[in-house]
């Protein structure tokens, strides 16, 4: 998945941040195709559990917290080149 598709998922998170905060504050959510695939206590757990069923690089893991300062727009890939 290229960074444009991950950016689309991040934009979806931003547009729905208030809803996510109300439901998932302090958790890591996994987003793919504008859907929440899972909710986890750690980013490592989110990664490992989601990678069992979805291709690495095809989903976004986002920590849910209120406010603009709670997120960055840095995309990481665990794919070896």
- Residue 33 located in a structural domain: yes
pLDDT value, residue 3: 80
Q: Is the pLDDT of residue 76 over 70?
A: no
pLDDT value, residue 4: 84
Q: Is the pLDDT of residue 70 over 70?
A: no
Most distant CA pair in the chain, distance: 38
The total of structural domains in the chain comes to 1
Q: Dump pLDDT digits (tens) for 17-60.
A: 999 999 999 999 999 999 999 999 999 999 999 999 999 989 99
Q: Containing domain of residue 12, as a range?
A: 3-69
Enumerate the β-bridge partners of residue 79: none
- Residue 32 located in a structural domain: yes
- Residue 42 located in a structural domain: yes
Mean pLDDT of 7-16: 95
């Amino acid at each position: 998945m290229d960074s444009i598709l991950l950016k689309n998922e991040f934009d979806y998170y931003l547009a729905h941040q208030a809803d996510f905060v109300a439901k998932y504050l302090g958790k890591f959510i996994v987003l793919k195709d504008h859907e929440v695939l899972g909710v986890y206590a750690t980013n490592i757990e989110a990664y490992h559990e989601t990678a069992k069923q979805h291709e690495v690089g095809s989903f976004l893991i986002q920590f849910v917290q209120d406010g603009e300062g709670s997120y960055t727009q840095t995309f990481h890939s665990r794919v070896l080149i």
